[in-house]
Amino acid sequence: MKNVYFILGIHNHQPVGNFDFVLEEALKKAYRPFLECLARHPEIKISLHYSGILWEWLEDRYPDMIDLCRTMLDRGQIEILSGGFYEPILSIIPDHDKLGQMNKMADFINRKFGVKPQGLWLGERVWEPSLPKFIHNAGLQYVIVDDLHFMAAGLEEKELHGYYLTDDQGKAIKVFPGSKRLRYIIPFQPPEKTIEYLAEIGGRGSGDMATMADDGEKFGIWPGTYKWVYEQGWLERFFNLIEQNRQWLKMCTYSEYIAQRAPLGRIYLPTASYTEMEEWALPFDAQRAFISLKEKLEQDGFELNSHNFIRGGLWRNFLCKYKEGSNIYNRMLDVSEKIEDTGSVIGKGIKDEGGASWLSSARNEIWRGQCNDAYWHGLFGGLYLPHLRAALYSHIIKADNMIENHRHLKDNWIECQLKDMDHDGLDEIIINTEKFCIFIDPDSGGSIYEWDFRPVCFNVINSLIRRPESYHQKILNQAVKGKTNNKGGVKSIHDLEQSKTQGLEKLLVYDRYDRNTLLDHFFDPSVTLDEFSTLRYCEAGEFLNNAYQYKVARDVNKIDIILSRTGSVNMSGLLSISKTLSVCPGSSIIKINYSIKNKGDSPIRTVFGVEFNFNLLAGKSEDRYFQMDGLKPKDPNLASRGETKAIENLCMIDKSLGLEIGIRTIKRAALWRFPIETASNSEGGFEKVYQSSVILFHWPLNLQKEEIQTYDLDCWARQI
């Protein structure tokens, strides 16, 4: 039989900000048992990638794992792959950060293992044609993508049993096609299936290589895999079978294969990722249509021949699909630019007490804030997990704090800037002080969409709207059946349909507006809390999602942002709103004044409400709770719901973070509170996730012609 070379690429990663117990579980169930089994089979070779997040964690907590890797590296059993240190989507981060992250990984590998890495693990296999020059300039020879990338360029599966050359502007690298078929076989089917498939390659077209490059978490962390892979011995049998077929089946690393075989040719790959990612990146309606088309093609027997021509969306479209991820991304870009600008003017009036070390620390913080997981959502939790979003914000704010601390020579500083942060052609308003940084979107109801409290590096808003997802239909189907589909053998997580929480179908309510802060509502007095929270009511005014005019007034002691709009209420009425946000240097308080005037000819009778959204990450935790007029309510949890007829002061307390968020109104108000909770997908199944607490202060509003009503509120975040 013709020799076949098999390359096993294993990628291990945990997101920045993930819970420590998750990392411990991953180590116990996947990372350690896999390496220990591998060590018992010295003939088995793999190419191994750990993200920098894991390398740092292992270095600090489990250095014996690094020692084990070093032992196998020294005997030629493994090759260590490089990558962006904090696992970014490499193509979308600034160019200086691309090289910075790759160089940091190469330096780490050289320091710990004494070798220079040759290959790159590409985060989520998100490829864009401009990447080769950056990979080449980082001193790397090759990268692993998916076979889909090559099929999208017109090649067939039989032409993908080797590697190709590609370049950008003459900067050439080698590219390997990872096999989707092997991704779905390993480790979910008996190991004999993999051997059978590899044996087929000997009689196929050009080339003599196959590679499976995929997540190490599938060997023990994905549902059902620990029992299957280790307790029932799948991995041991797999390695034994490879050894038994050593006469024709040759295991090697990517670098070893390059040293033995010439490239199959040259190719230019289009923008692509793996099949599932491209599906997830599509907008909701397009994704449903795409899934239906795939099912139809499969039924008609054309599915296997359609990969070259039927594809999903581009990864970058996640930044359109999910505004919350785009907000983090744009904040990251802004701070990264500030770091580079500051680095170029060191010594020109900017404090440099720590030499260049503080700037290096700022860069490292922004690189942590580029970790990809919370910028997108598909099968994995990602963007839907508030603690992952909060972690990105935390590192971005830390980096920003370092820059601002070196820009300002005096305390109690305050600035205001107009800048198109979201690149939609319209400016946002940024108020920046030593205490906080707030971002106001005049074109989204004049609301605050980000509020960074600098002392604890925390964005107190950080919410996520309830939106339709294609997998919600599966949740509805389960509700109709009355049970989850948990039966069967070991399945890939792409094939699982199970719920971690019952009653998720009740959460399938979809928001009509972004869950920001300072959202202006008008509604009929008959509307109830339940109707408001589930959006089963009609908004009586045209203020919530619409643009406000704005004016900025500055003086030495204060900045005022005046936001105004005139619009209809109750269809025939006409109201003008002016809301002024006032901020003073050194203060943690935002003073808010509303002035509402009846501009029509008829009396107006309605309810006026101001909505706040805050997220302290844990909806049900004893150390995070509400206080109302200084007392805890009967159910103080942040995920609780309730109404209070008259209140002056509401606080959200987070003892773990040492943070208090407060709202005080001069005129006693009625209060509604309820959680925003989403039904989202994860590798463990469908689950309920707390996203924020909605707080609505509201008052009856009865205005005669030309009559004016005013409301004053103070809002703050402070350490406790």
Cβ pair 211, 253 in contact under 8 A: no
Q: How far apart are CA 513 and CA 590, in angstroms?
A: 23
Cβ pair 462, 615 in contact under 8 A: yes
E strand or H helix at 35: helix 32-39
Is 74 a known active-site residue? no
Q: How far apart are CA 125 and CA 44, in angstroms?
A: 25
β-strand partners of 575 = 567, 598
Pair type for strands 659-682 and 642-654: antiparallel
Pair type for strands 249-251 and 4-12: parallel
Indicate which residue of 79, 87, 97, 124 is catalytic: 124
- Tell me the two tokens of residue 698: 């509201």
Q: How far apart are CA 416 and CA 554, in angstroms?
A: 8
- Tell me the two tokens of residue 668: 């006693």
Which residue, 257, 241, 261, is CA-closest to 249?
A: 241
Which residue, 460, 577, 462, 454, is CA-closest to 519?
A: 577
Q: How far apart are CA 690 and CA 347, in angstroms?
A: 46
Q: How far apart are CA 162 and CA 576, in angstroms?
A: 68
Is 79 a known active-site residue? no
The residue type of 288 is R
Indicate which residue of 215, 505, 648, 714 is catalytic: 215
Is the bond leading into 270 cis (omega within 30 degrees of zero)?
no
Residue 334 CA, distance from chain mean position: 17
Exposure of 140 in the CB half-sphere (CA atoms within 13 A)? 30
Where in the sequence numbering do the catalytic residues fall?
Answer: 124, 215
